[in-house]
Amino acid sequence: MRQYFLRRVTNAVVMGLCVLSLVVALIPLVSVLWLVISHGISGLSWSFFTALPSPVGEPGGGVGNAILGTFYIVGLACLMGLPFGIGAGVFLAERGDGPFGQAVRFIAEVLSGVPSIVIGVVAYGLVVVPMTRFSALAGAVALAILMMPTLARTTEDLVRLVPTTLREASLALGVAQWKTSLRVVLKTALGGILTGVLLAVSRAAGETAPLLFTSLNNQYWNFLPDQPTASLTVQIFNYAISPYEDWHEKAWAAALVLLMMVGLLNLASRLLARSRFQA
């Protein structure tokens, strides 16, 4: 009887610890979100989104060029990364059961764990060294390489969700395999693929490490792919490690802008996923 009591107590204690771990995990999350919002909100203004950075101590100034730069670099990265990532994913779902498919799948899984800073070094060697200058293109190459493997895996999973009966119905009507794949399978999976794309974009927008020595930074507006370009994340880093109180405030405000961007992309992908699965 006594032993049974002890077992019950152990059970209660361990279960309590499990609930406690949830609470402990929530503390940093709540703290990060609360502080970014409360510190950042005071720094937000219209000019923060549109103006160029100002020198220390000078009032005003914003991160307009960095916001635009992030869009620019991520956009370039999408142009390069999306076709390969999605194409590889479709291949894996449609014909990926052979040894070649297995190899691609495994390599994609392993690549998705490679640290982003390492990919930055690779983009430096691939683009910056031959061009002999830092550029938006180099940053975009790094982000594209980072996007590819994860996108391939999410695309594969989502294309595989399309019921076989749909495909078979199309094939039974005499439609060629490639037309079936494009017009029936992929059309059905389009919402899912878009979800994956939005997630990949939100991740890429939050990357800092691979941009530090590829797209570097820029104090001015830049629209040329072969020039150094500012990005929101690198700007936050530079402001945060600077010794100036004034810039720290700007780092919080820029972090709030970044969180809103990433959050909106995440939210959009979530809503998209939900509407798809309810339909």
Partner 1 sequence: MLSEQAANVRPNFFTRVNVGDRAYATVLSALAGAVLIVAGLIVWVLWKSAHTALATHPLQFIKGTDWDPVRQSFGALPFIYGTLVSSTVSIIVAVPIALGLAIFLVEIAPAAMRPLVSFPLELLAGIPSVVYGLWGLFVMVPWLRQSLEPLLGSTLGFLPLFQGPPLGLGYLAGGLILAVMILPTIASVSIEVLKKVPVSLKEGSLALGATKWEMVRTASLPYSRAGIVGAIILGLGRALGETMAVTMVIGNSPEIHLSLFSPGYSLPSVIANEFAEATDAMHTGALAALALILFGVTVLLNSIARLLVRAVGRGATRS
**Minimum distance of partner 1 from residue 260's CB (angstroms):** 11
| Choice from 8, 183, 187, 274 touching partner 1 (CB under 8 A) | 8
**Minimum distance of partner 1 from residue 114's CB (angstroms):** 6
Task: For residue 20, state whether it binds partner 1 (rule: CB under 8 A).
Answer: yes
CA nearest to 134, candidates 27, 228, 19, 233:
228
Task: For residue 247, state whether it binds partner 1 (rule: CB under 8 A).
Answer: no
Question: Which of the stretches 32-40, 49-57, 164-172, 271-279 binds partner 1 when contact is defined by CB under 8 A?
Answer: 32-40
Q: Where are the alpha helices (DSSP H) in the chain?
A: 2-41, 46-50, 64-95, 99-111, 116-123, 129-131, 136-160, 164-172, 177-179, 186-205, 232-241, 245-278
Q: Which two tokens stand for residue 276?
A: 């798809």
Residues 115-134 touching partner 1, rule: CB under 8 A, are 115-122, 124-126, 134
Residue placing its CB nearer to partner 1 in the complex, 68 or 207: 207
- CB atoms < 10 A from the CB of 273, how many? 18
Contacts of 238 (CB under 8 A, 6+ apart): 217
Residues 59-98 touching partner 1, rule: CB under 8 A, are 83-84, 86-88, 90-92, 94-96
Task: For residue 173, state whether it binds partner 1 (rule: CB under 8 A).
Answer: no
CA nearest to 149, candidates 97, 81, 102:
81
Alpha-carbon distance 222 to 75, whole Å?
Answer: 14
Task: For residue 263, state whether it binds partner 1 (rule: CB under 8 A).
Answer: yes
Handedness of CA 209, 215, 219, 222 (dihedral sign): negative
CB–CB of 132/68 below 8 Å? Answer: no
Alpha-carbon distance 254 to 235, whole Å?
Answer: 8
Alpha-carbon distance 277 to 269, whole Å?
Answer: 12
Question: Which of the stretches 6-14, 49-57, 59-67, 188-196 binds partner 1 when contact is defined by CB under 8 A?
Answer: 6-14
**Minimum distance of partner 1 from residue 51's CB (angstroms):** 21
Task: For residue 253, state whether it binds partner 1 (rule: CB under 8 A).
Answer: no
Instruction: Give the x/- contact pattern for partner 1 in 181-210, rule: CB under 8 A.
Output: xx-------------------x--xxxxx-
**Minimum distance of partner 1 from residue 52's CB (angstroms):** 21
Residue placing its CB nearer to partner 1 in the complex, 51 or 122: 122
Task: For residue 25, state whether it binds partner 1 (rule: CB under 8 A).
Answer: yes
Angle, CA 246 vertex, CA 242 and CA 251 arms, to 5°: 65
**Minimum distance of partner 1 from residue 67's CB (angstroms):** 14
| Choice from 67, 68, 143, 236 touching partner 1 (CB under 8 A) | 236
